[in-house]
Structure 1
Amino acid sequence: MSLLTSILGLFGCGKPIAEDQWTVATGDDNGKPMIVRFRSDIPRGVDIKQYPHLMAIAWKYEPANEGGMPSNADNNRMVLLEELLDSLETKRIAFLTVAVTCNGVKEWQWYSRDQEETMKVLNSALSGQSPFPIEISQQEDSAWSAYFRFRNSAK
């Protein structure tokens, strides 16, 4: 189970598709602040049944302060990572739905149509960059249960 499905918290920078609406919220986890960003609704024109794979990308970082947030340098690299992965959306291979930052971890949740294709495009997008300290996990979630559970509990 990913960080996002076990806690409510999210932060994100990057450039979501213009017509999509995003919600940003704050909360806490064991006294540490969380920053949360999630899509207010399913991306326009997306049939969730065509994107049954949940991919979580987690970045563990050394908190820059007692609040557990990343340093400016780490945050800038996180922004770069998200911008590099924009091609997943522009090619309609995967869609970012939730991002959370809390207590030394940032995690992004994506729903993809094909795991192999997603990893191929992800690796291509990141080629030529210094390695990012990320861990990727994937699971089936054809009903987008993790996203809906998160979105509905945040409202």
Structure 2
Amino acid sequence: MGIFDSLFKKKNESNSSELITKIPESWSVITGDNNGNPMFVRKNVACDRIAGNKNYSTSCGIAFKLLSPNADGLPDIENEPELDSLEDDIFDILESDLNSIVPLVITTSGFREFVIYTKDLAEFNMRLEKLKKKYPKYELTTYNKTDQNWNTYKSFK
């Protein structure tokens, strides 16, 4: 279970097995709070069109503690310059050949979590190991679970 799964009600919807040849993109930001701290969720709302795709039925997460959060628990980019590179690499390494899709990025309480849907968990894990080696300062933790209907993604509105 992801760090933030318990914060939102989930709903089930139908899914498809349509072949995905390109990840649609249209990002929005959802704001809220988590235990009195601000929370920002970046959601690729264009993924509404592919949410529930049976080829991407495993939900994975990559979560880590920010190295230099500000007083609100949000990133302080001046004191954490590798954060942007880490994020770029997560997208580049995981999505490059459509093995995985990253539709959510959650930041709150000194943590960041990337919610990912993958079609090949073994390949996801190999790529995660590359990220861990490249960014040893960050303690990248992960989880995975079956989420055929993309309930985690759909729970953020």
> What TM-score, normalized to structure 2?
0.76
Q: Identity over aligned residues, as a percent? A: 28
Q: Read off the aligned partner of 1:21 and give its amino acid letter.
A: S
Q: Secondary structure at the residue paired with 1:110? A: strand
Q: What is the CA–CA distance in structure 1 between the aligned matches of 2:59 and 2:79, rounded to whole Å?
A: 25
Q: Which stretch of structure 1 is more off in the superposition, 126-135 or 101-110?
A: 126-135
Q: Secondary structure at the residue paired with 1:67? A: coil
Residues 61 and 142 in structure 2, CA contact (< 8 A), matched pair in contact too = yes
Q: What is the CA–CA distance in structure 1 between the aligned matches of 2:50 and 2:114, rounded to whole Å?
A: 21
Name which of 89, 92, 102 aligns with 2:95: 89
Q: What is the CA–CA distance in structure 1 between the aligned matches of 2:24 and 2:57, rounded to whole Å?
A: 22
Give how far 1:136 is off.
Answer: 0.7
What is the total number of aligned residue pairs between the two structures?
142
* Structure 1 position 24 matched with structure 2 position 29: yes
Give how far 1:82 is off.
Answer: 1.8
Q: Read off the aligned partner of 2:2 and give its amino acid letter.
A: S
Q: Secondary structure at the residue paired with 1:133? A: coil
Gaps in structure 1 of 5+ consecutive residues:
9-16
- Deviating beyond 4 angstroms after TM superposition, the runs of 4 or more aligned structure 1 residues are 43-47
Structure 2 match to 1:6: 6
Q: Which stretch of structure 1 is more off in the superposition, 33-42 or 50-59?
A: 33-42
CA RMSD after TM alignment: 2.6
